[in-house]
Structure 1
């Protein structure tokens, strides 16, 4: 829509006109834009989308928003939050069309939830600090979800979460009733034992047990990070970034010698790797 010589307007399904050259738009105007995109006069791609087809988009946009936060990139965060909001709007308009729910019901439900889970703000409950706030929040949430056991809470943890985050949440719930390793050394010993078992399964070429043991190792590593007070997800992200940076350095050294990594021996690659800090 660049280089337009005159103002453009689009008729929405509610017969309201959408000014395509405004400097700012309200939330309701934004929702109308999404409704137009989903209409017969709208975009073929947008009309084809469903809750299911948009799942990956929701995850990707959320991660990109988190990436902007990690990089302290406020301008990009503003853009990425808009992309997250777009996903919320698309799902809500799709639901409006199928009469599942409306965007007003979405905002109403979250508003009621915030009021209910903040009795120290909207009612007469008293709290001393944020620790008590979180304790009350969890208790209220358990009441809302009708969780009677720790198992109920575990089953409610979303399976779509990144595996390390989900494992940590499950371990924290188990720890609330004392179901956890006694100390850090116990976790380390269990980890050593699992690695030894993995070596045996590798020798036997037993794929099923290798996968099972690898899962146990990852679960124990997550538990170790929890006990150490280290975020496992962040640790893996940092390690991956470090690997990328070192790989870039190694590749540049190879190119400086007129070589390609794929043509070099393991010993030659290792020698280059040792030269990169």
Structure 2
């Protein structure tokens, strides 16, 4: 499918001017009130909507959500420009410089023939860059607001790079079993703080198992959540077709329908 030719430079300038007008004297009351801090939850929401669009497989939806996310970048640049800090030109210049510097195998004389070699080279270059030289520990630099599952997987990858990792999957599974046993023991002891700690350890070990299996833990859990939601809706529909109110049903009744639908889903 052919896409119409566009002039990105001209369109970018139009968008910058639009943002300036929104923030200007006669602009939008809401836009004029915003700051980097007030926009944080909206930025996170837009990023996740991009992920949803990717998962949907719908190019038009992805295009729309990328537009929303792109506007946030322009918006943040405009706020910074008003404060005399930086502007979109500075951001683009920094991006060009960083991507060129971190791909010496493309724009320089370095050699990297596999994705793993590229990642290793990337990390080594980052260590020499401004802002990264202060990181003394392998596990420094974790994004504060990264979702917990992603953060766990990221820290595990970091320590694995220096050899702090299991050598085979049986050891990983044994660790999961060990942590589960400790959760059971904590429950028997009836100490809330101990239970919380051990459940955390169990979750961390499950993330490690997913990582060892080369699975994205966040994505795996999302899929399970959506599967649960879809199946529960089917339970609601099935009970409704039987003339039953789900809120009046017993657990046994709901569980029987759940198992029936589960078997049906596995056959399809």
Q: TM-score range by the shorter chain?
A: 0.7 to 0.9
Counterpart in 2 of 1:222? Answer: 207
Query: After the TM superposition, which residues 79-94 of structure 1 pair with which residues of structure 2 at under 5 Å, given as runs?
Result: 79-94=64-79
SS at match of 1:100: coil
Structure 2: runs of 5 or more not aligned: 1-7
Counterpart in 2 of 1:245? Answer: 230
Q: Per-residue deviation at 1:186?
A: 2.2
Q: Per-residue deviation at 1:51?
A: 0.9
Among candidates 72, 87, 96, match of residue 111 of structure 1: 96
Q: Which moved more, 1:168-177 or 1:120-129?
A: 120-129
Q: Per-residue deviation at 1:232?
A: 1.1
Q: Per-residue deviation at 1:189?
A: 2.2
Question: Is the counterpart of residue 211 in structure 1 residue 196 in structure 2?
Answer: yes
Question: Is the counterpart of residue 269 in structure 1 residue 258 in structure 2?
Answer: no
Cα distance change, pair 176–73 in 1 and its aligned pair in 2 (3 A): same
Counterpart in 2 of 1:143? Answer: 128
Structure 2 distance, partners of 1:186, 1:129, is 28
Structure 2 distance, partners of 1:216, 1:111, is 41
Q: Which moved more, 1:69-78 or 1:175-184?
A: 175-184
Counterpart in 2 of 1:191? Answer: 176
Structure 1 distance, partners of 2:167, 2:106, is 38
Q: Per-residue deviation at 1:80?
A: 0.6
Counterpart in 1 of 2:30? Answer: 45
Cα distance change, pair 101–193 in 1 and its aligned pair in 2 (3 A): same
Question: Is the counterpart of residue 27 in structure 1 residue 9 in structure 2?
Answer: no
Check conservation: 2:156, 2:208, Cα contact below 8 A: yes
Question: Is the counterpart of residue 127 in structure 1 residue 112 in structure 2?
Answer: yes
Q: Per-residue deviation at 1:258?
A: 1.4
Check conservation: 2:135, 2:141, Cα contact below 8 A: no
Q: Per-residue deviation at 1:40?
A: 1.9
The one-character-per-residue Cα deviations of 1:8-49 (angstroms, maximum 9, x if unpaired) are xxxxxxxxxxxxxxxx96101101111111112111111111
Question: Is the counterpart of residue 58 in structure 1 residue 61 in structure 2?
Answer: no
Structure 1 distance, partners of 2:144, 2:13, is 33
Structure 2 distance, partners of 1:148, 1:237, is 32
SS at match of 1:201: helix
Check conservation: 2:102, 2:122, Cα contact below 8 A: yes
Q: What TM-score results when the alignment is normalised by the length of structure 2?
A: 0.88
Counterpart in 1 of 2:164? Answer: 179
Structure 1: runs of 5 or more not aligned: 1-23
The one-character-per-residue Cα deviations of 1:41-93 (angstroms, maximum 9, x if unpaired) are 11111111111111111111111111111221111111111111111111111
Q: Per-residue deviation at 1:148?
A: 6.5
Q: What TM-score results when the alignment is normalised by the length of structure 1?
A: 0.85
Check conservation: 2:36, 2:79, Cα contact below 8 A: yes
